[in-house]
Chain A
Amino acid sequence: MKQSRLPLVITLLLLAFFYLPILVLVITSFNASRFGTTWEGWSLHWYRRLLQEREILHALSNSLIIAVSATIVSVILGTTAAFALHRYKTRLQRFHYALIYTPLVVPEILMGISLLLFFVAIGMELGLFTIFLAHVTFCISYVAMVVLGRLQDFDFTIVEAAQDLGAGWWASTWRVLLPLLAPGILAGGLLAFTLSIDDFVITFFVAGPGSTTLPIRIYSMIKHGSPPLINALSTLLLLITFMVVWASQHLTRESS
C-alpha cells in the first residue's frame, strides 16, 4: 500500500524548526565577536565574563532555594491529591479534580495577577516567600497528574497481598506502595523542579525587591543587557535541561 510521504516531511521540518533557533544560539555563544554578527573564531570569553556577574549567581541561588522548597511541598501535596483522586470516587473528588485540573489550563498571567492581588489584599510583603507559595500552587497540579497517571497502571493487589501477610495500613503504604511508586513521584518532582526554576510570568508578578530569580534576571538581560552573555547563560541552562530530561527518561524507562 502506497503511503503519503507528507507526514514524514512535515515531522522532519518541524524538528528542524524546533532545533534550529537553539542550535544557532549555542553556536553564537562561542563566538568571540562582540556583536555576534560576524564570526571571529571560537572563544570561551563570554563564559568567563558570565562567572564575574555576581547578580546572576545571586539570582541562581534564589531560584534554587525556591525550586527545592516548592518541589518538596508540591510533591507531598500532589501525591496525596493523586491518591485521593484515584482511591475515592465521591462528589468531593469530582470537585477536587476540577480544582487540580483548572490551574493547568489557566493562562499564567491570570494566576500571577490573582496571587498578586491576594497578597496585596492580605497585606503580605512580596518576596521569596510569596514566590514559594505561588510556585507550590502551580506545581501541585502537575505532580498530581503525573502520579495519577502512574497509579492508574499500578497493580494494587500487591498492597492487598502485603496486608494479607499482616502489614498494617501504615506499613503497607510506607514499605510497599511508596517504594514501588517512587519513580513516578520522582518524575513528578523533577517536572515541578523544572517548572519552578523556569517560571517567569507568575514569579514576576509576586516578586518583591531583592527577590530576583534567574528567569527575572534573564528577562531584564534580554530587555537591556548584552546578548552574548545571554547566549552563554542560555547554553549552560540548555545543557542542564538536556541532562535532566535524560535522567527523567531513564526513570520512566526503569519504571515501565
Chain B
Amino acid sequence: MIVRITQRKKRNEWLVTWPSLFWLSLLFMIPTAIVFMVAFKPTDNYGGIGPGWTLETLRHLANPNYPAIVWRTVVQSFLTTTICILLAVPAGFFIARANRFWRQLLLLLVIVPFWTSFLIRIFAWKVLLHPEGLIKQLLVFLHMIGPEVSLLYNSGAVLLVMVYTFLPFAILPIYAAAEKFDFHLLEAARDLGAHQWQAFFRVFIPGIRRGLLTAILVVFIPALGSYVIPDIVGGPNAEMIGNKIAQRVFVDRNLPHASGLSAFLILAVLVPLLAVLALQKSRDRAAPLIQEDA
C-alpha cells in the first residue's frame, strides 16, 4: 500500500516536472554545451560548422585587440553596477518607508520602464544625446560644453544608457528586501546613540544584504553581455565583448570564432554568479537559493 502511494507520488511528480525539464534540457542546457564544442570546430565555406576538430579559434582569440575589449567590458559592467546600487539603495529605502498609496504608485512608476520596449528606451537616449538633441543644445547654451563635443558614440554614453536600462532591476530586489526590514531597528539604534548615518550603514544595509546581492547579480551579469546599447549609442571605441560576438556571427559569419568568445563570456559570467551564491549559502544555509525579486 505504502509502496503504491510513493509510486503514485513519484509518477505525479514526473508528470508535472518532465515538460519543463525536457524543454530546458534540450533548448538551454544542450545549446550551452554546444557553445564549448563549436569553439573547437573549423568553419566551412558557407558560414556553417565544418567537420573535424581544430585549435584554430583559440589562436584567433589571442588577437591583440581582445584584452582591451574584455577590460572595457568588465569596467563598464562594474561601473554600471556600482552606480545602480548607489542610486537604488536610497530609492528602495524611500519607497519601502512611504505610506501604502505612495508605495504602490512609486513601485508602478519604477516598473513601467521595465515593461516598455528595450530598443525604444535606447533610441530615446539617442534622440536626446544627438548633436541636434535637447541635452546637447542645452549644454552648449549653458556654455558647459563646446559645440564640437560629441555626447554620442563614446563609453560615457554607453554607461549612461546602461545605468538607465538596468536601474529598475536593481531597485526591485532592494525594495523587496527593504520592505521586509523592521524599521524600528533604526529607531532603536538611534536611541542607543547611533548617528542617523551610522544607523543607516550599520543596521539597514546589513539588514537588506540578500536584496543587495540579488541586485548586484541581476545588473552585473546581464551588463557583461551588453550588446545592443554599445551598438546603438557607442562607437568603435566603446565596443564590448557582446559586439564582437555579434560581428563574428553577422559580419564575418565565423561561428566557431563567435562561440570561442561566447565560451569565454560564459566563464566570465560564472565567476560572479558562483561567488554570490557561495556568499549567500555561507551566510544562511536554511533559506532558499536566491530570493525572488518583487
Chain A residues in the interface with B (C-beta under 8 A): 1-4, 6-8, 10-11, 14-15, 17-22, 24-25, 28, 35-37, 76-78, 80-81, 83-84, 87-88, 90, 92-93, 96-111, 113-118, 120-121, 133-134, 136-137, 140, 144-145, 148-149, 194, 198, 200-201, 205, 215, 218-219, 222-223, 227, 230-231, 234, 237-238, 241-242, 244-245, 249
Which of B56-64, B145-153, B214-222 interfaces with chain A?
B214-222
A23 to chain B, nearest CB (A): 9
Cβ–Cβ < 8 Å partners of A215 in chain B = 117-119
In the complex, which range does the number of interface residues on chain B fall in? 35 or more
> How far is it, in angstroms, between the C-alpha of A37 and the C-alpha of B28 when the chains are bound?
46
Asked whether any CB of chain A lies closer than 8 Å to the CB of B124, the reply is: yes
B7 to chain A, nearest CB (A): 14
The reply to whether B232 and A222 form a contact with Cβ atoms under 8 Å apart is yes
Cβ–Cβ < 8 Å partners of B19 in chain A = 76-77, 80-81
Q: Lowest 4 CB-CB distances: which A-B pairs, in order?
A: A107-B225, A21-B124, A81-B20, A114-B31
The reply to whether A110 and B262 form a contact with Cβ atoms under 8 Å apart is yes
The reply to whether A97 and B27 form a contact with Cβ atoms under 8 Å apart is no
> How far is it, in angstroms, between the C-alpha of A215 and the C-alpha of B123 when the chains are bound?
12
The reply to whether A200 and B119 form a contact with Cβ atoms under 8 Å apart is yes
| Contact pick for A87, options B13, B21, B30, B95, CB 8 Å | B13
> How far is it, in angstroms, between the C-alpha of A14 and the C-alpha of B273 when the chains are bound?
28
> How far is it, in angstroms, between the C-alpha of A233 and the C-alpha of B152 when the chains are bound?
23
Q: Scan B21-61; emit 1 where CB is below 8 A from any A CB, else 0.
A: 10111011111101100100000000011000000000000
- Contact residues of B between 256 and 282, Cβ < 8 Å to A: 258-259, 262, 265-266, 269, 273
B52 to chain A, nearest CB (A): 15
B94 to chain A, nearest CB (A): 4
> How far is it, in angstroms, between the C-alpha of A11 and the C-alpha of B167 when the chains are bound?
12
Question: Interface majority SS on B: helix, strand, loop or mixed?
Answer: helix
Cβ–Cβ < 8 Å partners of B87 in chain A = 10, 14
A-B CB contact pairs (8 Å), 6 listed: A80-B19, A84-B13, A100-B20, A107-B222, A144-B20, A241-B116
| Contact A22/B115 with A17-B164, A107-B225, A148-B292 known, Cβ cut-off 8 Å | no
The reply to whether A84 and B17 form a contact with Cβ atoms under 8 Å apart is yes
The reply to whether A137 and B28 form a contact with Cβ atoms under 8 Å apart is yes
The reply to whether B118 and A200 form a contact with Cβ atoms under 8 Å apart is yes
Cβ–Cβ < 8 Å partners of B292 in chain A = 145, 148-149
The reply to whether B16 and A84 form a contact with Cβ atoms under 8 Å apart is yes
The reply to whether A24 and B128 form a contact with Cβ atoms under 8 Å apart is yes
Cβ–Cβ < 8 Å partners of B198 in chain A = none
Cβ–Cβ < 8 Å partners of B2 in chain A = none
> How far is it, in angstroms, between the C-alpha of A161 and the C-alpha of B229 when the chains are bound?
53
The reply to whether B20 and A106 form a contact with Cβ atoms under 8 Å apart is no
The reply to whether A120 and B123 form a contact with Cβ atoms under 8 Å apart is no
Cβ–Cβ < 8 Å partners of A100 in chain B = 20, 24
Cβ–Cβ < 8 Å partners of B182 in chain A = none
| Contact pick for A99, options B13, B28, B117, CB 8 Å | B28
- Contact residues of B between 140 and 192, Cβ < 8 Å to A: 164, 167-168, 171, 187, 190
| Contact A115/B27 with A105-B221, A109-B242, A237-B120 known, Cβ cut-off 8 Å | yes
> How far is it, in angstroms, between the C-alpha of A17 and the C-alpha of B111 when the chains are bound?
14
Q: Scan B207-236; emit 1 where CB is below 8 A from any A CB, else 0.
A: 000000000011001101111100010000
Cβ–Cβ < 8 Å partners of B118 in chain A = 198, 200, 215
B126 to chain A, nearest CB (A): 7
Query: A18, A90, A117, A237 — which one has the most chain B CB atoms within 10 A of its CB?
Result: A117
The reply to whether A218 and B119 form a contact with Cβ atoms under 8 Å apart is yes
A8 to chain B, nearest CB (A): 6
The reply to whether A136 and B124 form a contact with Cβ atoms under 8 Å apart is no
Asked whether any CB of chain A lies closer than 8 Å to the CB of B196, the reply is: yes
The reply to whether A18 and B109 form a contact with Cβ atoms under 8 Å apart is yes
The reply to whether A22 and B109 form a contact with Cβ atoms under 8 Å apart is no
> How far is it, in angstroms, between the C-alpha of A63 and the C-alpha of B291 when the chains are bound?
32
Query: B95, B190, B222 — which one has the most chain A CB atoms within 10 A of its CB?
Result: B222
The reply to whether B113 and A18 form a contact with Cβ atoms under 8 Å apart is yes
The reply to whether A105 and B218 form a contact with Cβ atoms under 8 Å apart is yes
The reply to whether A201 and B259 form a contact with Cβ atoms under 8 Å apart is no
| Contact pick for A201, options B113, B124, B228, CB 8 Å | B228
The reply to whether A106 and B123 form a contact with Cβ atoms under 8 Å apart is no
